[in-house]
A and B are shown apart, each in its own frame.
Chain A
């Protein structure tokens, strides 16, 4: 019975996160399209909202091609590691007062460890990632000095007085820039470069394995946005929640 409840807890976090990832891809494509004065996907569902599921279905049914000279173990292990550790980071996020899958007293350290481990899946983008990890850790250290604890729920509750966005605005800007660099978004998207190369370091993986990279990338983007909100914009007590 306890096992069932634990599995239900984990699934009730993972499945909404995957849905968020799916709709984030559609949102990104429609936003980029409106910046370029065209419509994005608008055929599949109402206003193209189901485009992500059509993409997933297509990718799952594609033929899985792997290079002959590659080390097959490492070839399949890379995307798996990236996805697993991107999703493991959601275990310490508080979605409400006391609503975490695991309320670790060392939550921030756990997030840093998980993000260090997920760099092994995509080594070509790692050089940029590890250079900005130092800046991120320094900014996190400043917030930890304010709260005195590495627990994420305490970090949210300590912002009842004032959200850390107000006294630590420069640190917020630095953390935000570091977060964009950490997830290979523009203008730091040299490793991926969707408009220049085909797909950057993910080109040789195809079909189901590519889905892992895709999910892992957007899941880590959402995770670091949630982390920014928890540290600087007072998480679930935020004024943006109504």
Chain B
């Protein structure tokens, strides 16, 4: 695996994704969407699944993006109006910030922050660790769980309830991979 090329393709995909939503001309927008698909297809080929990469090219670029282009051809867009609308981006910035913060809230409440402890180079100060527990607290309040326990497993329990009638046993992710490999695959 060529690590530099993987990083370049991933960066190219993210950059093209950002340019899809910020480009004013809709045809340029669709072209950057095609660039996202091509970058991701290259990434898949480098990972060794050449069939998936080529299938991405055929299906996403060859069918779905063409569909988008045809829709844009059929719409009666005037470029002057689009460029005028572009000047009004800053009006909607607070709404965008609110919706974006919802995304960060969900991520912060589920990601285990002990990641930083284990890597050894970054230690969260104690007050921040306490402070981020506020997301767990809010989640427990919203989902009607026990608000005194200070652990992130509350959120997992709410979304994937382990009750006796639909669960015989519950595995961690590594355990389930091992169980599949050693039981069904003949390792």
Report the count of interface residues on B (CB-CB < 8 A): 18
B-side contacts of A117, CB under 8 Å: 57, 61-62
- Could you tell me which B residues sit within 8 Å of A by CB distance? 25, 27-28, 31, 34, 50-51, 54-55, 57-58, 61-63, 66, 69-70, 73
Using an 8 Å CB-CB cutoff, how does the interface string of A68-108 with B read, 1 for contact, 0 for none?
00010010000000000000000000000000000011100
* Cβ-defined contact, B51 with A119, below 8 A: no
Q: How far is the CA of A74 from the CA of B28 in the complex (A)?
A: 9
* Cβ-defined contact, A71 with B25, below 8 A: yes
Q: How far is the CA of A116 from the CA of B51 in the complex (A)?
A: 15
A-side contacts of B70, CB under 8 Å: 127
Q: Is the interface of B mostly helix, strand, loop or mixed?
A: helix
B-side contacts of A119, CB under 8 Å: 62, 66
Interface residue A123 (Cβ < 8 Å from any Cβ of B):
yes
Closest partner residue, chain B, to A73 (CB atom): B28
A-side contacts of B61, CB under 8 Å: 113, 116-117
Q: How far is the CB of B162 from chain A (nearest CB, A)?
A: 43
* Cβ-defined contact, A113 with B66, below 8 A: no
Query: Lowest 7 CB-CB distances: which A-B pairs, in order?
Result: A116-B62, A113-B57, A109-B54, A113-B54, A113-B58, A116-B58, A112-B58
* Cβ-defined contact, B66 with A106, below 8 A: no
Interface residue A120 (Cβ < 8 Å from any Cβ of B):
yes
Report the count of interface residues on A (CB-CB < 8 A): 18
A-side contacts of B62, CB under 8 Å: 112-113, 116-117, 119, 130, 133
B69 interface neighbour in A104, A110, A123, Cβ under 8 Å: A123
B57 interface neighbour in A74, A105, A116, A130, Cβ under 8 Å: A116
B-side contacts of A109, CB under 8 Å: 51, 54-55, 58
* Cβ-defined contact, B27 with A74, below 8 A: yes
* Cβ-defined contact, A71 with B55, below 8 A: no
Q: How far is the CA of A119 from the CA of B70 in the complex (A)?
A: 12
* Cβ-defined contact, B51 with A106, below 8 A: yes
Q: How far is the CA of A218 from the CA of B125 in the complex (A)?
A: 68
* Cβ-defined contact, B27 with A130, below 8 A: no
B-side contacts of A130, CB under 8 Å: 62-63, 66
B-side contacts of A106, CB under 8 Å: 50-51, 54
Closest partner residue, chain A, to B51 (CB atom): A106
Closest partner residue, chain B, to A113 (CB atom): B57
